[in-house]
Structure 1
Amino acid sequence: MKKKTWIVLTVCCSVVVGGGGLALANMNANQVDANSPLKEKVSYAVESYEAQKQIADAPGATTEDEQELKELASRSADLELELNPQSVLEEFEEVFAGYKDLYLIQSAHYEDKKDSTDPAVQQVLYSLEQKGKLIAQFEKLKLSKSANGESLLENFYGETTKLNKELYPDRFK
């Protein structure tokens, strides 16, 4: 055979073998989703995430690569949460910590504006004061250990909603 014929034949065989490998890998991935216990799903999701992370971190990575990385991270986190469900107390701790972090960030931003006469700034400072009181209230409840996680979480959601309705009535019409 001629050299060009061998090259074409080699390329065609490579495409067929590569395509078959991809099809086999895809079938294997589907089987992992359908037939594997949860631990294997989590393990597979983490491995997929790590592989995609290397692709997304490589020079010349596309936004599609980064988007796929985000989707894999989300899927991996969802499976991990399904495998190790979060207790209501842990959920409260997470929500409460996020609320406190946002409060601290906003407080730091307005720290040097306490003497401002601008009504908008005064409104923000008042809201920060109220949020600080709410945080202190729940810090005491959390430390007293008298309330269980479920009641803490429900009360926290209720109190923050009530405070937000008071502070931002135009948003709740």
Structure 2
Amino acid sequence: MFTPSLRLLTVGLLVSVGIVAFDGLGVTTAMPQSRREMRQGTVTCRADSMMGLVILAVGIAVIAVTLLGEALPVGVAVVGWMIGGFGMGLAYNASTAETFSETSEDASGQMSGTIQMAQTLGTALAAGIGTAVIGGAGGGDELHTAMIAIFALTGAFALIAVPLAMRVRTAAPSGAVKE
């Protein structure tokens, strides 16, 4: 049986491993996707963005079920982080590549800054809102409800983005734009 401090250490280590796995799989996913795009053009971006967002939502669901339920060991949440990282790498790289394919060379620096600011702002808002919701919750059932709300909201954002990704215009290697 774990003491409370050993349990916190274990959970902290698992979360750290999950974060490394998330980032590692995100990069690992982005590399072959990028190579395929160089061969086929951005024609793959729409499907990759949509599939990545759905996979990200599945990862969020695995994390939520693991952390909010009591049937699965906490280590399963690491698998959820890995699934989410795979999906995020697929969706983020595809949408960024498509954005830059539609941006003129002289505006690419501005677009890079805009993407970085949007990513940073989105992360800050999500972390701030999540922290406020958790901080405002009491213990027990209130905290459990707050966590359900956070996971539901993040999963919903991923799924809401799927139809938006359908709007991505794609170009074949020849540069001809396909709808």
TM-score, normalisation: structure 1: 0.33
Q: Which one has more relative contact order, counting CA pairs under 8 Å at least 6 apart?
A: 2
Give the structure with the higher percent helix. 1
TM-score, normalisation: structure 2: 0.32
Question: Highest Rg: 1 or 2?
Answer: 1
